[in-house]
Structure 1
Amino acid sequence: MDHRAGNDEIDTIAARFGQHRPRLQALAARLLGSPVDAEDTVQDAWIRLAHTDAGTIDNLGGWLTTVTSRLCLDRLRARQARRESPLDADNLLRANSDDPADDAALADSVGRALVVVLENLSPAERVALVLHDVFAIPFQEIAPVLERSTDATKKLAARARRRARLGAENAPPDLAGRRALIVRFLNAIREGDTNAMLDILAPDATRYVDPALLAPGQNTTIRGAHAIAEEARSFSRPAHEASPALIDGDLGAFVERDGRPVLAITFMIAQNFIHSFDVITDPDRLSRLTIAPQAIPQDPDDASGARNEDYEAGQIT
């Protein structure tokens, strides 16, 4: 879109960008290991879009993924040149496995050691591994980001995967701690405990929710721990049904009905705080998630598996 675009056109493209923001945020966070850097990168992607003629973009989601990935690659290369490390080490990688138990084992080992594991990879290796193994982006779409052939990108990801698994073997487990934080978060929502929420959420935490779960006029995105805590009662019913699970290899929570998930919550956790969470009810988004509820050991002393059969899918207010 150029500077002559009208306000209506700007509002339209901003709304379309907002639909992709949670995924771009998750992508950038896993590539960079820092919620702050991820926010900055996604904002840079928006600026690129705002200065581009959107009418020439056939696939906005793909375009934004490519731009965000390239921006992350540039940041990683600059960080490597300055010999800097990412700020946070608590984003888990999903194992490239058909067995959810294997996913759990790798996620358990990678959490705290993510910085060590990924810092041993080159920026290109990191991008190839995360885009393919975490976000299931085809190699032919990753190749242009890295300016390599598809075959070369496959080999790069394979090498990165071997190095990541090797680096994860001796990493200390932290899955239980992350699970405990999510259980505390769910309990705080169920009980409407604002103080507990503020103890768990980072001050600048962000809440994303699919529109279908909200009443008319509610914002799909809310920023700030206090604002999130104030609306916590809106989520009490789904929180009563939610149970912890591995979602794409990372810890989250979900609600199941008749053997299928109807709601999932993904989290960005760093330094023992929840920096963002995304409440997903859109069937298409849910269908793309790999949810493994049996992969996490259950603590008999927590009530995270409690069910409230009065909860009905739909608006949460």
Structure 2
Amino acid sequence: MGELVAEFEAERGRLTAVAYRMLGGRSEAEDAVQETWLRCSGALGDPAQRAKVGNLGAWLTTTCGRICLDVLRSARVRRETYPGQWLPEPLVDPYDPGPGPDGFAPDPAERAVRADQLGTALLVVLERLSPEQRIALVLHDVFAVPFDEIAGVLGGTAVAARQLASRARRAVGASDAPRHTADPAEQRRVVAAFVAATQSGELAELVRVLAPDVVLIGDGGGHFPAALRPVTGADAVGRFTLGLFGQAGRYGGRVRARPVLVDGSLGLQFETPHSSGRTLRLVTAFAVHDGRITGIFNQLNPDKLTRLPDIGAEADWPPRW
């Protein structure tokens, strides 16, 4: 069993990445990976059974994919009754502007890993797909899993799996999701301009940073007030954003913020007093395209922010780059 444990642990990081992109939540992803281990240890704990499986990585991917498919099917019912708008649980990592050139990933190997990350905007779009389409698209287009292996996850043929991925690809391409094409340097420049405009309190200055069709989505999970529907358009999003920061100031505490990486892209982590007397913790992800912000995603549901790194006593507004 010791060798099997070692083999599984070598695959754990990849399996967690697969599960997160399929499910949109770190906690759900880790639960899926743990269930994968339980099935692995039960089915392959005997060395004779393990010897029958040539490619353990493929076996684990198929098993994890089936578990995720079941979770997605049940999640559809839960999310239909979700209070307000739903956003994925963010993966938040520190942003370190040195020693790398942009603070994203100084090591080339890390850059390669981050290159396949799905930003928040695309994770939101994936929610519109059927569970089968989402599984097929993520496994094939993000992780290059062959269609015959995907067929094993979905319980169909390779042809059917290919068709599901193709339909999913068309649905994503035809969606009105905010575009996110900016490289790290552009992300930093645009997000810094957003911060400066927000700090100024000038609506016209903030609107210049926003795309005309920008969309803002907030997920309070019923714990904190958030817009029940997406806020769209530069003027409406600008007014909403300035109102949010003005509201925080009225409750007498300072806004503390710092730049972070949210699902691999530049974002912001906040803490600020709330009228309820509690501290509101907020993670904001951005979609940036052609020098402007096309999407703002505010995650303020505390149930989805249990893994946030400590913001640090030195954090302040405006955040330090």
**TM-score normalised by structure 2 residue count:** 0.45
Give the structure with the higher percent helix.
1
Greater C-alpha radius of gyration: 2
Which structure carries more relative contact order (alpha carbon 8 Å, separation 6+)?
A: 2
